Amino acid sequence: MGRYVIRRLLQALLTLGVALFLLHYMMALSVQIRGNPALLFFGGKRTPDPAMLAQVERLYGLDNKCYERPGDPCLTPFVERLQDYASGDFGTTLSGNRDVGELLAVYIPNTLRLFMFSTVTLVILAMLLGTWAARHRGRVIDHSVRGTTILIDSVPVFLILLAYTYIIAVPLTQWARGIWGSESFMGQLFRPNYSPDYPWTTMIVPGIILGTVGLATLTRLVRASQLENLGSDFVRTAKAKGLKKARITVVHVVRNSMIPIITGIGYLFAFMLSGAVLTEGVMGIPGMGRMIFQGVQRQEVNLVIVGLTVSAVVVVLVSLAVDLLYAALDPRIRYE
């Protein structure tokens, strides 16, 4: 087991290093092709004094000559960037001169809350619906589950968000506040936007909506994986012993079906990162997705590269967790 974990850790570090270099290289190409982003410090409305421009370039690490040579990978700035990240220095924004580390301290907890609710929603719904459909294969329930989940997946998440924000949330909020009061849990639960005074309560509904992303895919994966195990010898043996259906499903079928399901959860978790940009934008949540989107809009190179770096780290960690869960669920994998 120890050797397996070490191999996976080394693979994760290598993958992360390649991802960070590619992000840095794309940023360098952007600067080389589109021009010096340090000009944003001056508002982009006038030609700055060369001495002042040089000082700003040194301040933001844009004074290396490699940024003037298209195609240059800029390895020296890449190493310096990694050293700064390791020391906890994420730089500052060009407009407003705000510390990016302070922004991350605000944005990351909000995105973590959103993903906690969305992941729990996705896993619970997919497991329940997939198990239900597998146990009633070929019946009305099976067809209804598959049809409903496909219908939900076919509607873009931003349409669901807009429909909820502008059509459903307002009457629900008024109804809840009329019964329980505006400061109650129910009074804040259905509000159409995020509130920093109620960071957990106002994140539940956006998290549930984001959790519907990929629901049909994971539900069908759960169903197919469990159907495969329902016809196996150990399930027939359990039935012959007279065990209850619920025990057979939970103890024998679900556990032995988890490896492909965990793979799907890891994939969909990375896929939900793109949905987080829309969810945080529509619901007004100050999170990582919104930070990256605003960085692109304002041409804040450092803000974008830091946000994408955090996203890359999260994806690699999720992939590592999936690999380790493989070994925990099936001991044969760790010896391959």
Distance CA 122, CA 125 (A): 5
Answer for the pair 98, 112: CB distance below 8 angstroms, yes or no: no
| Token pair belonging to 164 | 């909820």
Give the residue numbers spanning the domain of 51. 18-95
Say yes or no: 288 and 182 in one domain.
yes
Distance CA 146, CA 80 (A): 51
Distance CA 278, CA 266 (A): 20
Residue 284 CA from chain centroid, whole number = 17
Say yes or no: 133 and 86 in one domain.
no
Does 7 map to a domain?
no
Show which of 62, 95, 128 is a domain's final residue: 95
Say yes or no: 133 and 85 in one domain.
no
Per-residue pLDDT tens over the stretch 160-200: 988 999 899 989 999 999 999 988 999 999 998 899 999 99
The angle, 0 to 180 degrees and rounded to 10, between the axes of the packed helices 140-154 and 215-230 is 150
DSSP per residue over 130-176, as a string? HHHHHHTTTSHHHHHHHHHHHHHHHS-HHHHHHHIIIIIHHHHHHHH
Say yes or no: 284 and 135 in one domain.
yes
User: Max alpha carbon distance in the chain (Å)?
Assistant: 86
Per-residue pLDDT tens over the stretch 123-142: 899 989 998 998 888 899 99
Show which of 50, 74, 95 is a domain's final residue: 95
Does 203 map to a domain?
yes
Show which of 297, 312, 330 is a domain's final residue: 297
Does 242 map to a domain?
no
Say yes or no: 71 and 135 in one domain.
no
| Token pair belonging to 297 | 């809009």
The pTM of the full predicted model, rounded to 2 decimals, is: 0.82
Q: How many domains does the chain have?
A: 2
Distance CA 37, CA 57 (A): 9
Say yes or no: 84 and 180 in one domain.
no
Q: What letter represents residue 335's amino acid?
A: Y
Say yes or no: 54 and 105 in one domain.
no
Say yes or no: 260 and 141 in one domain.
yes
Distance CA 72, CA 25 (A): 8
| Statement: residue 58 has pLDDT above 80 | no
Per-residue pLDDT tens over the stretch 33-53: 877 777 666 665 566 777 777
Q: What letter represents residue 70's amino acid?
A: P
Q: Average the pLDDT over 255-274 and give the result.
A: 78
> How distant, in Å, are the alpha carbons of 24, 252, 325 from that of 279?
27, 37, 29
Say yes or no: 52 and 141 in one domain.
no
| Statement: residue 80 has pLDDT above 80 | yes
- Name the residue among 281, 269, 116 with its Cα closest to residue 194: 281
pLDDT value of residue 188: 93
Per-residue pLDDT tens over the stretch 304-315: 888 889 888 988
Say yes or no: 110 and 88 in one domain.
no
Say yes or no: 121 and 267 in one domain.
yes
What is the residue-averaged pLDDT of the chain?
84
Say yes or no: 84 and 220 in one domain.
no
**What residues have CB less than 8 Å from 205, skipping those under 6 apart?**
164, 169, 189, 190
